[in-house]
Structure 1
Amino acid sequence: MAVRRLPERVVSLIAAGEVIERPADVVKELVENSLDAGARRIRIRVSRPVLREISVQDDGCGMSREDAVLAVERHTTSKISSEEDLQGITTLGFRGEALASIAAVSKMEILTRRAEDPVGTRVLVEGGRLVAVEEAPSPPGTRVTVRDLFYNVPVRRKFLGPDRSEFALVAETVSRLAIPRNDVYFVLERNRKISLALPPSSPFERVSRILRLSRDDLLEFSRDNVHIFLSRPGISFPRNRIYTYVNGRYVRSEVLKKAILEAYGSRIPKGEFPAAVLLLSLDPREMDVNVHPKKYEIRFRDQEAVFRAVFEAVSAALGPGIIPEVSGMGPSSGPSGTFRVVGQALNTYIILEDDEGILLVDQHAAHERIRFEELLDRVRSGEGYSTPLLEPMVVDLPPDLAPLLGDPLLRRIGFEVEPFGEGAALVRKAPYLLTGRDVGEALREVLEMLSSKGDAGLEDLLIESVKLAACRGAIKAGEPLSREKMEDLVRRLMQCREPQTCPHGRPTMIRISRSRLEAFFGRH
């Protein structure tokens, strides 16, 4: 088969497919252009259905007639001019492909004017072909209107979701772009009705509004080049609500997401997510955003340092003792040193009183946390917590796992084991943490984890095993407790590193403040 040079129109359609896959991509590219143009007010209008018309209007610097015509050509940009500029990108756009890619798959109109020009310019493009350039009245700034998106690529339309889903993605895109730019007024309209209005506000207010969290449920923390907003421990969501930004650019980074989730640890239930906004400032030369046409991906020169900075900042923000309060009240420390046990409710909740109000402590969750930290400390210190087997057990092993029997980590977590001929092991002691499990199966699982993931994988397995053991031996809900036992339980809980949640992320206690109680009874 002969090799052919593709026609320019086909090349444009292929390039557009890399950047523009759905209406939300159009909105992203146009709003980023508006922000790069210095806009302080951006209005996004979409029709129903979304594909029929999308319009983004701003009050930015506008373009001259010559620049407006040039802007719809591929690889034309005002933001970089040399190879060196790629090493220090500070604008949201830089590839010079956005307008050309949109124009290739739509009927596009650009209306623009610089403040110093007496009249504006209108540029019309259809399917990448320049149709008209003319003078036109225009306020300072730029309005780009995109009609009949994908009219010439019908196959692309087949892969879009229902119209309501596509509009939801548009709204999410606008919110995402608005988070780091709290100085800009964003308005999203659908069929001339306002769906979202975000006037300029403080960073905290902007994030609180978009995450839909009350002021009392949101933490704000800054350290060095890390600025973060986090939902309080005890508040979690079934879907990912983590937004990460580097130098104002939204990015999808597993490094940043992992740092946030690992810092939360057991403060949230397994399989759920916190709400978080991370605003990271870095020297542009320390990263590469020119990885993918959509500019979502990023590479860090020193990935380890970035992970550590974010992890430590989130850990510091969460702190050791943030306790949720009913009805969205603010954070509080644990009970003061003068707390008094009032009693036990429903044989499940310990009622405490201190100078600030009342606390309810879940006795099972509290004892779980205490046991979890005590057991984990013992295992990590090498005490192992082994249980001798009634009779030594022979366990068959695959050939690739047998050489790992000498790993000191096995003894550290509580296995006493030795080689027993070829492809077998003799187990004399097993970890207390694994009580109730098949010893042979547990040994093979640990060895496989060591083989595939090393120490890190074993640590994950260890923590999950400790969680199960902590739960198994903890005081149960419905169990009556003496006053002395309740006082001892609370004191031990307050000595824990993370007393505010159980190992599975449930809160161990909630506070009802004096002011909240007085409000309940109208004692203002």
Structure 2
Amino acid sequence: MPIQALPDHLINQIAAGEVVERPASVVKELVENAVDAGATRIEIELEEGGVRRIRVRDNGSGIEPAEVPLALSRHATSKIGSLDDLESVLTMGFRGEALPSIASVSRLSLTSRTAEREHAHRVELEGGRVVSESPHPHPPGTTIEVRDLFFNIPARRKFLKAERTELGHIEEWLRQLALARPDIDVRVSHNGKILRRWNRQDDLLSTRRLDETLGEAFVANAMRIEADAVGIALSGWIARPTYNRAAADQQYLFVNGRAIRDRSVAHAVRRAYGDVLFHGRHPAYVLFVTIDPRRVDVNVHPAKHEVRFRDARFVHDFVYRTVADALRETRPGAQADLNAPTSGYLSGSGSNTPPAASTPTSFRDWRPAPSSLPLRAPTLDTSAALQAQLYTTGSTSTVTPSAIADSSLQSDDDIPPLGYAIAQLHGIYILSQTREGMIIVDMHAAHERIVYERLKDAMDRDGIRAQPLLVPLTLSVAEREADAVEAGSAAFEALGFELRRSGPLSLQVRSVPVLLADGNVEALVRDVLGDWLEHGDLQRIENTRNDLLATMACHGSVRANRRLTVPEMNALLRDMEVTARSDQCNHGRPTWTAVTLADMDRWFLRGR
């Protein structure tokens, strides 16, 4: 065939193949236009999962009658006018291809009115061709109705899923919108029945939208974070490590208000959770990145699902540090109000089970009446000497009620977060009385975290020692891997690796970290190079080192059926309160759980 220009309707259908994948794609494009028009109320009506009918109505600024035909033509937009505008896009849409692409594969009608006009202007299209145009009664705003999606492309229509599946995709995208824009009232109906409503709220920091979209369990385990650096800010909520998911189904990332997927940011969050998350589980989070629009390119994906950061390594490290610093405070005594920024974090019971509606999520939420049983603390020294005794295998004493007879009464303000130990249960758990009720601690899991954090601190403080290889190891590598070693030699040496380029496609390994010298050196070096090339960091070394330290901590911690004295148990509780991440052990299991007096009163129907 000779080279020829494609007809407009075929061009639009090709564009539709990129923009319109399924009904959820149509809803996304139409609702984003409504958001860009300044709408504060959006109504969405669906039939048969959106395949039969999609109707989106908003109270936005509307479109002038003369501009309606332009709105339905390719690459016509009011959102950019120059290359400078394209480099600093803050609107949801800007390409000007969504409406003509949708119209080319459906029967579409658009009715719009500006506040200054007495009447709206309506245009109807079928397969991208205009059928009629006329004035029409309509309040200020825009209504777009899309019927019979892919009616003229049967092959595309056959690939659509069942009604429930397509509706699920729409609901998921609307959930993202609800999280990103709590200032917009959104109503959704399906087949004539109200499906969902998210009421507008003026307090953008409220957790109400979190509750409506992700549920009470997420809110009960959420920690608010907020941090900023030069040209970038991060805010939102991350879930406690003990609230984890079997799949990555509660991970939401927004960049300048746009819901996106980004491997670099996802890797940063996963790395921050790596030391506290149960094996094979996924963290949950809702994060908002606000960045200078000139430092991010939103024009890299037809459906705008992805962006490209100008300095991806900086963004990755910033997100990692912020989330990791927040997770350091998952320890007893780090309680804070849910809506507070990173000066404090919400701390719960360490249990995967969400509290009941009447159960306080923070120790600050509730104060019981003074107990008739005085809370007592041992007068014995519980610092270095007792901790040294605790970490050896010397004591075999049995806890008895008389063990706390020589204690002094403490005031309510002096009671530490984990209270004071009163008994050991089944040689495994420590029972402690607190201001609010009681705490049960898994002594091995708690001590394992304490020892592990101390080993890591010692390693970080003293540095990683290198062990020279008796015979240097020569590896064949790709050219870009050899280039990476030359460029990052200082970073490798700081972590105990001495790597030298011995040829265009070869490396020589002369030394490795002492802790890792007994492993498969070649496999380790290749994995480390892969991390460096993909993420710009040496996470594999840190992970491997931490795995070894975790094993050492596990074997060096108190074991089950080891009898502890009350002072030893209290020494362990005090250490937990000052140890980072002590709400969970090295494997991500909770180390303690709380039961309030209100819980116990409900058990025995007291006050009813």
Worse-superposed segment, 298-307 or 144-153: 298-307
Does residue 1:300 correspond to 2:309, yes or no? yes
Q: Is this contact kept in 2: 1:56–1:144, CA < 8 A?
A: yes
Does residue 1:471 correspond to 2:554, yes or no? yes
Using the TM superposition, give the Cα deviation of residue 88 of structure 1 relative to its aligned residue in structure 2, in angstroms: 2.0
Match of 1:459 among 530, 537, 542: 542
Using the TM superposition, give the Cα deviation of residue 35 of structure 1 relative to its aligned residue in structure 2, in angstroms: 0.8
Q: Structure 1 residues 465 and 165, CA, compared in 2 at 3 Å: closer, same or farther?
A: farther
Amino acid at match of 2:554: C
Does residue 1:237 correspond to 2:317, yes or no? no
Does residue 1:344 correspond to 2:348, yes or no? no
Q: Is this contact kept in 2: 1:234–1:324, CA < 8 A?
A: no
Using the TM superposition, give the Cα deviation of residue 73 of structure 1 relative to its aligned residue in structure 2, in angstroms: 0.8
Q: In structure 2, what is the equivalent of residue 160 of structure 1?
A: 160
Q: CA RMSD of the aligned region, Å?
A: 3.6
- Any residues of structure 2 matched to 1:312-351 within 5 Å, and which? 312-320=321-329, 321=331, 322=334, 323-325=347-349, 327-328=354-355, 329-332=360-363, 336=416, 339-351=419-431
Using the TM superposition, give the Cα deviation of residue 64 of structure 1 relative to its aligned residue in structure 2, in angstroms: 2.3
Q: In structure 1, what is the equivalent of residue 14 of structure 2?
A: 14
Gaps of 5+ in 2: 335-346, 365-413, 498-506, 533-537
Q: Is this contact kept in 1: 2:89–2:293, CA < 8 A?
A: yes
CA distance in 2, matches of 1:211, 1:49: 22
Report the secondary structure of 1:175's partner residue.
helix
Using the TM superposition, give the Cα deviation of residue 96 of structure 1 relative to its aligned residue in structure 2, in angstroms: 0.5
CA distance in 2, matches of 1:424, 1:292: 41
**CA offset digits 1:198-236 (Å, max 9, x no partner):** 001233211232121354322223334322122233111
Q: In structure 2, what is the equivalent of residue 210 of structure 1?
A: 213
Report the secondary structure of 2:549's partner residue.
helix
Worse-superposed segment, 265-274 or 450-459: 450-459
Q: Structure 1 residues 285 and 397, CA, compared in 2 at 3 Å: closer, same or farther?
A: closer
Q: In structure 2, what is the equivalent of residue 362 of structure 1?
A: 442
Q: Structure 1 residues 444 and 335, CA, compared in 2 at 3 Å: closer, same or farther?
A: farther
Using the TM superposition, give the Cα deviation of residue 63 of structure 1 relative to its aligned residue in structure 2, in angstroms: 1.7
Does residue 1:254 correspond to 2:249, yes or no? no
Q: In structure 1, what is the equivalent of residue 593 of structure 2?
A: 510
CA distance in 1, matches of 2:418, 2:5: 82
Name the TM-score, length of structure 2 as normaliser: 0.74
Match of 1:487 among 549, 552, 570: 570
Q: Is this contact kept in 1: 2:122–2:134, CA < 8 A?
A: yes
Using the TM superposition, give the Cα deviation of residue 33 of structure 1 relative to its aligned residue in structure 2, in angstroms: 0.6
Q: Is this contact kept in 2: 1:379–1:412, CA < 8 A?
A: no
Q: Is this contact kept in 2: 1:226–1:278, CA < 8 A?
A: yes
Q: Is this contact kept in 1: 2:110–2:123, CA < 8 A?
A: yes
Q: Is this contact kept in 2: 1:207–1:229, CA < 8 A?
A: no
Q: In structure 1, what is the equivalent of residue 404 of structure 2?
A: none
Q: Is this contact kept in 2: 1:50–1:167, CA < 8 A?
A: yes
Does residue 1:445 correspond to 2:516, yes or no? no
CA distance in 1, matches of 2:89, 2:449: 47
Report the secondary structure of 1:57's partner residue.
strand
CA distance in 2, matches of 1:84, 1:451: 38
Report the secondary structure of 2:281's partner residue.
coil
Q: Is this contact kept in 2: 1:266–1:501, CA < 8 A?
A: no
Q: In structure 2, what is the equivalent of residue 222 of structure 1?
A: 226
Q: Structure 1 residues 80 and 426, CA, compared in 2 at 3 Å: closer, same or farther?
A: closer
Does residue 1:289 correspond to 2:298, yes or no? yes
Give identity over the alignment, percent: 34
- Corresponding residue pairs, total: 504
Report the secondary structure of 2:39's partner residue.
coil
Worse-superposed segment, 75-84 or 462-471: 462-471
Report the secondary structure of 1:285's partner residue.
helix
Report the secondary structure of 1:267's partner residue.
coil
Report the secondary structure of 1:221's partner residue.
strand
Q: Is this contact kept in 2: 1:227–1:280, CA < 8 A?
A: yes
Q: Structure 1 residues 343 and 445, CA, compared in 2 at 3 Å: closer, same or farther?
A: farther
Report the secondary structure of 1:347's partner residue.
coil
Q: Structure 1 residues 99 and 510, CA, compared in 2 at 3 Å: closer, same or farther?
A: same
**CA offset digits 1:407-427 (Å, max 9, x no partner):** 99899889xxxxxxxx99999
Does residue 1:497 correspond to 2:501, yes or no? no
CA distance in 1, matches of 2:237, 2:16: 35
Report the secondary structure of 1:88's partner residue.
coil
Q: In structure 2, what is the equivalent of residue 419 of structure 1?
A: none
Using the TM superposition, give the Cα deviation of residue 42 of structure 1 relative to its aligned residue in structure 2, in angstroms: 0.6
Amino acid at match of 1:219: M
CA distance in 1, matches of 2:189, 2:491: 63
Q: In structure 2, what is the equivalent of residue 191 of structure 1?
A: 191
Amino acid at match of 1:258: H
Q: In structure 2, what is the equivalent of residue 420 of structure 1?
A: none
- Any residues of structure 2 matched to 1:52-451 within 5 Å, and which? 52-201=52-201, 202-203=203-204, 204-214=207-217, 215-224=219-228, 225-240=233-248, 241-320=250-329, 321=331, 322=334, 323-325=347-349, 327-328=354-355, 329-332=360-363, 336=416, 339-381=419-461, 399-400=475-476, 431=515, 439=518, 442-451=520-529
Q: Is this contact kept in 1: 2:429–2:440, CA < 8 A?
A: yes
Q: In structure 1, what is the equivalent of residue 342 of structure 2?
A: none
CA distance in 1, matches of 2:212, 2:422: 39
Using the TM superposition, give the Cα deviation of residue 75 of structure 1 relative to its aligned residue in structure 2, in angstroms: 0.7
Q: Is this contact kept in 1: 2:475–2:522, CA < 8 A?
A: no
CA distance in 1, matches of 2:577, 2:36: 50
**CA offset digits 1:25-81 (Å, max 9, x no partner):** 000000001111111111111112431111111111222222222211111111122
Amino acid at match of 2:182: N
Q: Is this contact kept in 2: 1:394–1:425, CA < 8 A?
A: no
